[in-house]
Amino acid sequence: MNDRDALLPTLERLFAGARDQVLTVGALLAGLEARSYAFIIAVLDLPNCIPTGIPLLSTVTGVPMLLVAVQGLLGRPAPTLPARLTNHPLPRGKLQDFLDRARGPISRLENLVHPRREWWLNGASRRLLLVAWIGCIFILALPIPFDNLLPAWAILFFCLALLERDGLMAMLGWIFTVLTVVWTAFLLWIGPYVVWQLVKGFF
């Protein structure tokens, strides 16, 4: 499979078959090939893109994302997951039903996210993107209050860029990466001062 193929036809091929058969998580990731990294990380990242207020959500999802992303940076063809998860069966019938429901949203997404300005995703530009991607995931995984929304969106834009070879999404990812760095530096600078003022207030 070529990683330039659109996501919808790729999923259609992977989910095709008798409804009573199963597709393992490992087989799904192998079928997605290089895009399996962006796919997994996007799924784990999505809950962080909405302010939920769930304590440590970014850390609980960020640590697995970081482990997966590092494997991608090392050049593995597909991520290695625990055997229990890799061998987990996914009923093809349920996958096909899910795809039928999701076909419209995926098609609309592909109208917005599609191959363009691909030089942002080639050669040195791609390697820098992967480093920035992992950097944002690392920041997301840190238990820093009020510091998960910007890196979560940077990660999501990078995922979309890698899934659909979309340089515009890569550009948005870089913009949110810069905002993440500035905001994180501000929090790390102002945070100790606020804590110190609170401590002084108790004494």
How do residues 160-202 score in pLDDT, each as one tens digit? 999 888 999 999 999 999 999 999 998 888 767 665 665 666 6
- What pLDDT, on the 0 to 100 scale, is given for residue 200? 62
How do residues 4-26 score in pLDDT, each as one tens digit? 467 788 888 889 889 999 988 88
Rounded to the nearest integer, the mean pLDDT of the chain is 86
Report the C-alpha gap between 141 and 135 in whole angstroms. 10
**CA quadruple 157, 153, 78, 9: dihedral positive or negative?**
negative
Helix, strand, coil % (nearest 5) of the chain? 75, 5, 20
**DSSP E strand stretches across 111-164:** none
Question: 131 falls in which pLDDT band (50, 70, 90)?
Answer: very high
Structure tokens, 200? 């002084």
Strand partners, 91: 22
How do residues 22-61 score in pLDDT, each as one tens digit? 988 888 888 887 788 998 899 899 999 988 778 789 999 9
N- to C-terminal Cα separation, the chain: 65
Domain residue extents for the chain? 7-202
- What pLDDT, on the 0 to 100 scale, is given for residue 3? 42
The answer to whether 22 touches 89, Cβ cutoff 8 Å, is: yes
Strand partners, 184: none
- What pLDDT, on the 0 to 100 scale, is given for residue 197? 63
Report the C-alpha gap between 196 and 203 in whole angstroms. 11
Report the C-alpha gap between 61 and 96 in whole angstroms. 27
Of 106, 101, 119, 99, which Cα lies nearest the Cα of 165?
Answer: 119
